[in-house]
Amino acid sequence: VDVDRGSPIAPYRQLAGQLRERILSGDLAPGSRLPSADAIAQEAGIARYTARKVLLLLREEGYALSSRGMGTYVAPRDRWPQA
Amino acid sequence: VDVDRGSPIAPYRQLAGQLRERILSGDLAPGSRLPSADAIAQEAGIARYTARKVLLLLREEGYALSSRGMGTYVAPRDRWPQA
DNA sequence: GAGAATTTGTACGTATGTATG
DNA sequence: ACATACATACGTACAAATTCT
């Protein structure tokens, strides 16, 4: 959960990549909870707006599912790309 | 408890400033109850989210203490800035 | 003790304005 | 023009603790 500000890759992509790896490696299993946008923002030292884009990207990719008031969770494997 | 929408200062900062002044002037003594987020929201005509930020800012500054179910209260003077 | 109301806490969704590269 | 980023604001929903009836 760390951002390299010198990198040409946008912070929200860096963070999404880190979570994606943890999902693919099994560190974060389907159904397990992902950090909230607020938590990501605070830990990474970025705005909530940007932290939201991290989760948004993972959702678009099929790795995460969100529900209002409940949080964001790792999606079932059959929703992942190339499944 | 009034918001100037034309002001460049964000509403939650305006409201926090008003409460801070009442605390510093002694109008609101340590231990006395501050209005709830819902009350602030309704009186000022803003969303609860924004009203919460008023109390949150005062907490961060050291002027207030909150606890779930109990409400938010003026903090002891030794918690205030420059005390 | 039971149940409702109150209040703070948490969380996602959405939108606007501003600023920077 | 565009993507990125931050600040602010509103809406909605659920959770947890306390207080009141």
Share of chain A above pLDDT 90, in %: 83
Give the mean pLDDT of A44-58: 94
Mean pLDDT along residues A15-29: 95
- What's this model's pTM, rounded to 2 decimal places? 0.87
Residue A14 scores a pLDDT above 80: yes
Which residues of chain B, if any, have pLDDT below 70? 83
Using an 8 Å Cβ cutoff, are A34 and A58 in contact? Answer: yes
Average pLDDT, chain A: 92
pLDDT score, position A83: 62
Contacts of B31 (CB under 8 A, 6+ apart): B73, B74, B76
Is the pLDDT reported for residue A69 higher than 80?
Answer: yes
The whole-number pLDDT of residue A46 equals 94
Q: Which nucleotide is nearest to B68 (CA to C1')?
A: C8
Protein residue at shortest CA distance from C1' of C8: B68
Protein residue with the closest CA to the C1' atom of nucleotide C17: B8
Q: Is the pLDDT of residue A10 over 80?
A: yes
Statement: the CB of B58 is under 7 Å from strand C: no
DSSP secondary structure, A11-80, as one string: HHHHHHHHHHHHHHTTSS-TTPEEPPHHHHHHHHT--HHHHHHHHHHHHHHTSEEEETTTEEEEPPGGGS
CA-to-C1' distance for B6 and D10, Å? Answer: 18
